[in-house]
Structure 1
Amino acid sequence: MEHMLNHKLKQIEISGIRKFFNMVADEEDVISLTIGQPDFHTPEHIKQAAVNALSLNRTGYTHNAGILELRKAIAAYNEEKYHISYDPDKEIIVTTGASQAIDITFRGILNSGDEVILPGPIYPGYEPLITLAGAKAVYADTTKDAFKLTKENLVKHITNKTKCVVLPYPSNPTGASFTKEELNELVSVLKDKDIFILADEIYSELVYERPHYSIAAFESIRDKTIVINGLSKSHSMTGFRIGYLLAPSWLAKELLKVHQYNVSCASSISQYAALEALTNGKNDTLIMQEAYNERREYVYKRLVSMGLSVNKPEGAFYFFPKFPMKEMDSFQLGLELVRKGKVALVPGSSFSVVGEGYMRLSYAYDLETIKKALDRLEGFLQM
């Protein structure tokens, strides 16, 4: 019966991050810096809001787009933080995590044969969804431009088949983030083209050098821009599975159809927890951000002292250093690091072929764990 499956399933694989994690999970005495998940507990007041929702029997279906109070809170939050305005009645959809928001966007805008430009290295969750939608991922190599998509690089990859460009900034795995001026360069190219912009801004609250600037703030491209965000990273709520999608009303109306038939609505309990997070917990991220920044400074100094070529991340909680490969690819290097160095990093090839030669290091761990792991990494490099 296998031949009767959707043939596109054969074109995708389990995430390289997960594949590697599963391979080394049983290794003993290994310190892992692989997981892209905040090491902080969800704030108590948010957890209590979930408990209260249960106690009040708020356990039924909600509006397909999410409870109105939450959509209003999302609108207010984005207006205050990023100066972008969206109508809670017509332009906001609460989703089951940011991943589902990305999925319904691709399924809503892509047709067979379309192309989507991805600035690589990039989180591996986009290409499989593009493939399942019948479209093709086109990688723009950003390794020579501080891991940022430039105007020139974008123009070089646009064809008459280009339907969408993904801007995943701050970036997983590189930590790169745009300035307003850098975004304006991209806007100058895209404003007159019939190309959608998917701005995945899930790490927007974890920035260090300057406040996050959203491309949706440029009015000239707002009508073709879809902003993806959520509470997993900002409020350490990964298991609550709450994301959201911001889009012009004409587009949100169509994407809501996909969302409705996909999940009906996001978890009601999680929605009430998210409402608490975005109203009384707007600044919960600051404590986490301060800790991440301390770790960022420490890790950067250590990696540089080891002689590794590395860009200092401007956001998120990852480093993406380039490694001397010694006649092995990054996946093999990852295995060697685990078996001989007793430290686990994610192979750069997990983030597209453009990431080959690099390794992703997450600093979403306590400083003591990070120090021990980097001591082992340094020892391995001296072998």
Structure 2
Amino acid sequence: MKLQSKLPNVGTTIFTIMTNLSNAHNAINLSQGFPDFDVPPELITLVEKYMRKGFNQYAPMQGVLPLREKIAQKIEKLYGTTYDIDKEITITTGATEALFAAITAVVHKDDEVIIFDPAYDSYGPAIELCGGKPVHIKLIHPDYSIDWDQVNKQLSSKTKLLIINSPHNPAGSVLSRDDITELKKIIENYNIFVLSDEVYEHIIFDGKKHESMSRYPELAAKSFVVSSFGKTYHATGWKIGYCVAPENMTEEFRKIHQYLTFSSNPSVQLAYAEFLDYENVYMNLASFYQKKRDLFLSKLKNSRFRAIPCHGSYFQMLDYSEISDMADTQFSQKLTIEHKVASIPPSVFYKKRDDYKVLRFCFAKKDKTLEEAALKLCAI
């Protein structure tokens, strides 16, 4: 029997392709967004403690209570908004599951959803699986800012959801206070929801402030805010994220969540709950990664690559137009095979495969790894 695909235009993700290529050619992998350094040893000890205490069966569907309590406390302290720990906070199996559940809870057949290109690659397929229509709006190159005039032109009675990602993957741009002002106007004039992907909330540089939807009551009232512990604590493989949203939105969100994963690893959840008491870890994360960004850029100073400003996330975009006019998909492969440094071609995150001759490099790596990679890039 022939299976009719629900996602006929979707293949293997670029992250898998480039990591496999990197492994095959023994290249330094700056493509996929995961650290090559260890999880804090105290956190591993806590996970082991809770496993040995017997927390190895199903956790509550909404997440363990201590973790939801700590998340509520943290959000209130950082952004001034109080979420109900029982009715408005849900622990998920990674942020990607939370994004999928939020989209599925809101989007119906023929609903339109605004997403900004280059867009994280899970947004579009989730919308299409719901029968919705992704409306792609390009961020303004090279600073990857939002063209709000274009957003307003695309809004219609069919617009159901607007997806925001800040700090942005892959571009490294962040929302400004002016962006918040424009978004408030839209929320006031249109009956739409916001899905805010904030997994890099603590990785923001140059004295800038993270503009969470949770910071603004009128936006929080219409927003699913998604974050993740994987990026904060260097444990991307543990897949623990969360979503906060008003009660009526969370109720629908949980209807989807309970049939996706039902619940997530209880020992890891309890370990995170206890580790959140060490506030200095996430409060110092920005300076930790800014040093890595600055190290990487300093080592590339004499290269032919041109750095595009990165104010958040742990990704650096590099313009290679002075080196080659090859398509970014081709040049990234050439770079991996011949020069042994793997990156991500951002054109794959555009609906129309827009190619600005830039590549995305992950700097969530040991200093030695970044120095070795920069040395290879400078030799080009």
Stretches of structure 1 that go unaligned for 5 or more consecutive residues are none
Matching of residue 311 in structure 1 with residue 308 in structure 2: yes
Shift of 1:148: 2.1
Question: CA separation of 1:348/1:74 partners in 2, compared to 1, >3 Å: closer, same or farther?
Answer: same
Contact kept in structure 2, 1:82 and 1:212, CA below 8 Å: no
Distance 1:344 1:240 in 2: 24
Q: Which residue number corresponds to residue 368 of structure 1?
A: 368
Deviation at 1:73, TM superposition (A): 0.8
* Superposed structure 1 runs of 4+ greater than 6 Å apart: none
- 1:358 is aligned to 358
What is the match of residue 265 of structure 1? 263
Deviation at 1:38, TM superposition (A): 2.8
Q: Deviations over 1:209-230 (max 9, x none)?
A: 2231212322223221110001
8 A contact 2:228–2:240 mirrored in 1: yes
Give SS of 2:221's match. helix
Cα RMSD for the two superposed structures = 2.0
What is the CA-CA distance between 1:126 and the residue it aligns to?
Answer: 1.4
Aligned to 1:297: 294
Residue 163 of structure 2 is matched in structure 1 by 166
1:86 to 57, 64, 83: 83
Distance 1:322 1:376 in 2: 16
Give the Å deviation of 1:179: 2.4
Q: Indicate the SS of the match to 1:176.
A: coil
Q: Kindly report which structure 2 residues correspond to 1:49-60, keeping only aligned pairs within 5 A, or say none.
A: 49-60=46-57
Mapped partners of 1:199, 1:11: distance in 2? 25
**Counterparts of 1:321-332 in structure 2 under 5 Å?**
321-324=318-321, 326-332=324-330
Determine what percentage of the aligned residue pairs are the same residue.
27
Encode CA deviations 1:290-316: one digit per residue, 9 max, x unaligned: 332112123334556435443221111
Q: Which moved more, 1:319-328 or 1:334-343?
A: 319-328
Alpha-carbon distance in structure 1 between the residues aligned to 2:355 and 2:196 = 21
Q: Give 5+ residue unaligned stretches, structure 2.
A: none
Q: 1:126 to 1:313 in 2, by over 3 A?
A: same
**CA–CA distance in structure 1, aligned partners of residues 231 and 137 of structure 2:** 26
Aligned residue type for 1:289: A
Choose the corresponding residue for 1:337, options 335, 338, 363.
335
Distance 1:34 1:223 in 2: 36
| 1:180 matches 2:177 | yes
The CA distance in 2 between the partners of 1:81 and 1:39, in whole Å, is 29
Change in Cα spacing, 1:159 to 1:256, as seen in structure 2 (3 Å) is same
Give the stretch that moved more between structures: 305-314 or 215-224.
305-314
In the alignment, the residues of structure 2 paired with residue 304 and residue 174 of structure 1 have an alpha-carbon distance, to the nearest angstrom, of: 20
Residues 18, 343 of structure 2: 8 Å contact kept: no
- Alignment partners' CA distance in 1, 2:211 and 2:171: 18
Counterpart for residue 347 of structure 1: 345
- TM normalised by structure 1 equals 0.92
Deviation string, structure 1 residues 98-142 (Cα, Å, up to 9, x no partner): 111001111111112222211111221211222222222222111
Alignment of 1:125-204 (within 5 A): 125-144=122-141, 146-204=143-201
Q: Secondary structure at the match of 1:229?
A: strand
Matching of residue 69 in structure 1 with residue 66 in structure 2: yes
Of the structure 1 ranges 86-95 and 173-182, higher mean CA displacement relative to structure 2 is found in: 173-182
Aligned length: 376
Matches within 5 A, 1:183-262: 183-209=180-206, 210-262=208-260
Letter in 1 for 2:343: L
1:321 offset after TM fit, Å? 2.1
